[in-house]
Chains A and B, each alone.
Chain A
Amino acid sequence: MAGGGDRTRRDRFDGQFPAVLDGVRVGEPWAFDRVFRTLAPMVAGYLRAQGAAEPDDLTSEVFLGVLRNAGRFEGDEAAFRSWVFTIAHRRLTDERRRRGRHPALEPLAHAAEAAAPDDVEAAVGEALGTDRVRALCAQLSPDQRDVVLMRLVGRLTVDEVATALGRTPGAVKALQRRAFRALDRALEREGVRP
């Protein structure tokens, strides 16, 4: 079963996705806003955990592309999420290519700047958590990292990840299995493992 345990979270639009998509197709601002508020946190978190240099700007680029082209999209909510993350992943790849570098860990202080300033304590805690996730994921292969972060941060099922990355579900399962085993060993080396 691919992600069957979190099926209750699959509906991010509270059953209103068809109406939202119809609104997006005709350029309704409320529909655009709904799509952005629903999916942007996950996209931004994915890009941040992937080590994007400017995750917020990149998120805006992603949704500009999504909203400008959503009129031609046909499919259900799951397919829409896969499509959004496909665009996000491509934008990330483009950014890495532009900068000519691979994702690298950034200093903790710099990571904290990306958090929302309203609740400093929560923001710092989130930054710490994100930094920790990023540090651990940096020990994975790029393919494993893509799969794990799309599954955990993007809340995508195995099938959705497979669609977003252009792989088979079997390949995604194999990658996530290896990724969690690698994380297990990395945490063991840190002495975190029970």
Chain B
Amino acid sequence: MMPRDGMPLAYDLTMDGQGPLIGGELHALVVDDNEGDVYLVQRMLIDAGFVVAVAGTTEDALALMAYSQPDVVCCDICLPGADGYVLSSAIRERYPDVHIPIIFITGLSDEQALLKCFAAGGDDVMVKPVNPARLRAKVTAALRTRDLHRVLSRQRDQLALYQTDMQRDMEIAKSIMDNLGSEKTLALPNVSYHLQPMDTLNGDVIIGGRSPGGAQCFLFGDFTGHGLPAAIGVQVVHGVFCAMVARGHAIERIATELNRKVRQLLPRDRFLSAALIEIYPDSGTISVWNGGMPELLVRNAAGELLKGFRSTKLPLGVLPVEEFDATPTRRQLREGDALFCYSDGVIEAENAGGTMFGVERVKLALASGGQQAVERVRAALMQHTGGTPQRDDVSMLHVRFEREAMLALLDRDAPMDMARAATHWRCSVDLGSDALRCTDPIPVLGAVMDAIQGFGPRSDEIYMVVSALFARALEQGLLGLDPATKNEQSGFALYYHKLEERIAALQDGHIAISFEHTPDAEGGVLQIEVTESRSACHEGQMLRTAPLSNLAVVRSLCESLQFSADGRGAVARYRWYKNRVSGAPH
């Protein structure tokens, strides 16, 4: 309906992006019991392009509005029955989610009466007689307010919906993360830990695992940032870590692969600060790779602080593959020694005064020794922060070196049955010096044997036998190292240092590993042969027949262990029984 006096209504119907209202019409409701006044206002509004409804009382007006709400209400103050103030208040009360502009048009002129219009919820007030141009201007302004309100309401509702969706997605992500079963991997008698994420999704990660060789391995890490990107990172890292530990990969390879994966997966500004820990209970060797985590604290049984493991590497995901340094720090643990790890959320937690908790307070809480380390640090942390909001994820891990308890874990959850029937097969691999420099064949061979035969719970024992024979062939045979030096003071670190040096310098030689499997009525026999050969003698030292502690393990697990005349070849026969997990002869 076009305005009759030629002046278009100065109002943009599409201001809120909704397009024109139904039929493109604007509706007004005039509430006044004076016919003459009604006619005048009605006329003005029709000229301005409105479709106008009229009510003579508050009651009628509200009844009409219950049917459909107008775009603007023009009402008098003096009405029969309930007055205009009551109408205005009622409108505000009944329609709290939409803003219906209310313009009072009244004959009253005293200040108090006019001010009361606003108190009753009105947007404006005009005193009769009404000036048409002014009415149009005020109605326009009122409609602008209305539309602003509409836009904001819609945005608020969209935001609320979005937030609900986000929260739901986060909770799904969280339950996926919980299903990873990290908690099970840490349910060990010598381990305690605490995870306290700041939000639904944790950017900190703690994973445990046991290698087939019996090592306890841990990943203690902290992704940059929080939320979904961190959670996705945790999923990937969890998968890689658990699979590699279960295969028996050494800590260096795990670090290398994790670095590669994180770098590939996450954008350049995101990485994983982490400490990788590998503890062999039988020898007490601990290897730690620390890239970006606070110093891992080591205490002895009496609670005294020993040398810790500082961060010496860049976090995972920062360096490209060719620059990555996977070399861990190796030390020896004694019975009762304990390792305490904590994320920077612990030391950076502030009290009301802005003082950080700091590493000295951690050390203080640990000082009394004993087993309740995590509880004590938690308590001290809570006491320090009081009620201040948590600003970062908090995590702690405590691992005690308890040799017997750790060794006893070895066969705990091994299922009995074989996946496949025992079959005849052979498999062999021959590695030249260049392959030996960069390949660890044991996990790969384990995977092959799993694929061909699948030894189930016996895989661990077989792994130990193959590892021991391979180590003998490589370390003693090709590299000329003396295993007895491992037992000396800081002998392990020295031994491994020499090992790395000599492997890097290895120029000739081969190691051949072969398997031959023969099933029988009770189970089967796996014959493992490991032979090393090289063209030149190394240092003239024939150490190959010197007893090795792992050879004792081999002898205990195998039916027989024999050496060739020159000592370069070893043949072990591992017999397994259908009704038993262990191959060790009774």
Interaction A to B:
no
